[in-house]
Structure formats: structure tokens, C-alpha cells
Amino acid sequence: MVKPSKSNKQGASRRSKGAVSRAAPATKGTTSRRSISTWVAGIGLSISSYFRIHREVAKESANRLYQTPLPTFMTWLVVGVSLALPAILLCLLMNAQNLGAGFDQQTNIHLYLKPEISEGEAKKFAEQRCQDPRIESCRFISSTEALKEFSAWSGFADVLAQLDSNPLPAWVDITPTHDQLSLAELEALVEQLEQLEQVDQAQLDMLWVQRLSSVIDLFQRLVWALAVLLALAVLLVIGNTIRMDVENRRDEISVVKLVGGTTAFARRPFLYSGLYYGFGGAFMALIMVELAVLWVRQPIDQLITLYGSHFEFVAPGFFFVLGLFGIGIGLGLAGAWLSVRKYSFD
């Protein structure tokens, strides 16, 4: 019987509770209270079903991307380019820093001696300098030796042979004890040496290192700014792709909610899609970075050989790759999260 009523029917309520447990033996789907033992027994089951559900959703999301290969590939490419550009620049930057650091340790002071000083005096002068605790070693190079060395590596031997007199001064190559000296102390040492009467000019071979390091500094800031902007682009690209995906699957979302799916359940496939977009994009980026390294490797090695340096170009290593994938996946998940968060899924 249906009766329009306002009265409270205790009996009916009790009857119906009994009927609920009979009609829904699966323990799922009732809002009635369950005993603690049921909960405890359920925990083991829910942990295994938690992983099973994730496995299934992961598979289903992957399948969806697989079924639309071209759009998926395009998204991967866009994400890949956005990740690869800062990654390649960062890779070059790291190498440039290595280069700077390598030279930092070898900075010598060049003391150019006045021409009127005889070779004997000059040698004695060089020995005296070595007694300074701030100086590790000194090497005297006479003007004749200097000319020989210069014509050997400059390639101007023929031209130099034509000269009537040697234009080069004698000089002392001083290696400071780098470990103990700060840059300021080094500069003070140079100034002090320059005051000596035998010295025409003292040169700390540091200026170009400083210049290089400030150029690297500037470059580094630019790379990071670019990286942040491109990360934002990745976030928006993935976010937008997922948003359209959500829009297209609105029916499914509302049916899932209607049959008792939680918001987390409805969101999960989209988060997995975001993860895949990020992972695929990072993979594309890795390929691009490797290709770029392959492309520049030979000319860089050649350049290094020409400069006679022992510097070695370092290709991206394990942690670089790990970081690339971490950032890709992180951005993918974050982008997906931003788009699903906007929908209430109710």
C-alpha cells in the first residue's frame, strides 16, 4: 500500500533493514553499519583489488591512446619538443660549466719583465718569487724561448723569422697555490707582483674565465626561464588535451557516477592518460636530445682538439634521463589533475 503519510513507521524501518541485508549479500552497496571484523577482513581484499583496479584502468587508458595513434603521437611530439629544448640547452650548459671549472684550477699569473733586465737577473728574480708561500711554482721563459714557443703553435713561424729583432719580452709563469687562495687574495697577489721594479706587467689569466662564467650565468638564467615557460606550455597542452577528453566522455562520467562510482574512480582514467602523455613526451624528448648530442658531438670534439684541451664533452647521463622522465610524468599528471579538478564529476 502507498499512503501519503507524515508518521514515523518504526516497524517498517526495522523490517526493511532486514530485507536490505538479504537482498544485498555482497556487502557492497549498503549504507548500513558493518562490524569491525568485516572491515578488517575487507582490508586484505581491498589492497589486492586496489592494485587490480589500477592495473585495469592503466591498461584501458593505454588502449584508448593506442586507438587514436595520430593525435596521441602529435601530443607526444609537442610535449617532446617542449621538454627537449630546455633539456638540450641544459646539457650544453652543464658542459660549459665543466669547461669553466676546468680552467678555473689552472689560472696562472704571467709576469712580463722589463726588457732591460738581463737573463741572469731574471732567473734570480724568478727563484726569489718562489719563496712566497702563496706561489707554488715559477717557470722562467726567456724572450728567445717565448719566440720559439709562439712560432711553434701560432703557425706564424715564417713571418716571425723575417723579423730583425725579437718583439717578445721574457716572462715568468707563476702558478699560485690555488687551494688556499680566494679570488680576492689572488688579485691582491697580482697587484703586489706588479709593483715590483723588474715587472712591466702582471696579468692574471683570469679575466676570460670570469667573463665565461658570467656569460654562463646569464645563459643559465635564460635556460631556466625558458624551461619554466615550456613546462607551463606542457602543462597547458596536456591539460587541454585531457579537458577535451573529459568533454567527450561526459556521458560515461555521468553514468559512472550514477551507478555509484566515486569521483576518484571517474577521474582515474584521465590521470593515467596524463601520465602517458608525460611519459611519451619525455621519451620523445630523450630521442631528440640524443639526436642533438650526436649532431653536435663531432664538431665539439674537433673544437676541443683544436684548442688542445683535455676537456671532454659529457653526454646526458642516467640522472639526467631520470630527471627528464620525472619532470615529464610530473607535468603530465599535474596537467591532467588541473583539468579534472575543474569538473565536479557530480
Partner 1 sequence: MIRFNRVSKRYQNGHDALDNISFSVEQGQMVFLTGHSGAGKSTLLRLISLLDRPSAGSIQVNGTELDRLSGREIPVYRRSLGVVFQEHRLLFDRSVFDNVALPLLVASYSPAEIKRRVQAALDRVSLLTMESLNPQVLSGGEQQRVGIARAIVNTPTILLADEPTGNLDPKLSEEVMGLFQQFNQFGTTVLVATHDLALVEKMGNPRLQLAQGKLVL
> Which residues of the shown chain bind partner 1 in the complex (CB under 8 A)?
1-6, 9, 12-13, 15-17, 19-20, 22-26, 28-32, 46, 49-50, 52-53, 251-252, 254-263, 265, 346
Give CA–CA dist 272/195, Å, rounded: 70
Amino acid at 191: E
Cβ distance to partner 1 smaller for residue 58 or 334? 58
CA angle (19, 24, 30) in 5-degree steps = 90
Cβ distance to partner 1 smaller for residue 10 or 118? 10
Cβ distance to partner 1 smaller for residue 17 or 297? 17
Give CA–CA dist 91/297, Å, rounded: 12
The crossing angle, in degrees rounded to 10, of helices 263-306 and 207-248 is: 150
Give CA–CA dist 326/279, Å, rounded: 8
297: which 3 cell numbers? 658531438
The CA radius of gyration of the chain, in Å to the nearest whole number, is: 37
Cβ distance to partner 1 smaller for residue 15 or 221? 15
Which residue, 152, 198, 171, 197, is CA-closest to 108?
Answer: 171
**Least Cβ distance, residue 73 to partner 1 (angstroms):** 21
**Least Cβ distance, residue 28 to partner 1 (angstroms):** 4
Cβ distance to partner 1 smaller for residue 261 or 323? 261
Give CA–CA dist 204/113, Å, rounded: 15
User: Which ranges in 68-108 belong to alpha helices (H)?
Assistant: 69-104
CB-based contact 328:79 (threshold 8 Å): yes
Q: Which residues pair with residue 176 across a beta bridge?
A: 135
Cβ distance to partner 1 smaller for residue 32 or 305? 32
Cβ distance to partner 1 smaller for residue 110 or 249? 249
**Least Cβ distance, residue 282 to partner 1 (angstroms):** 28
B/e letters for 273-300, b = 16+ CB within 10 Å, e = fewer, are: bbbbbbbbbbbbbbebbeebbeebeeeb
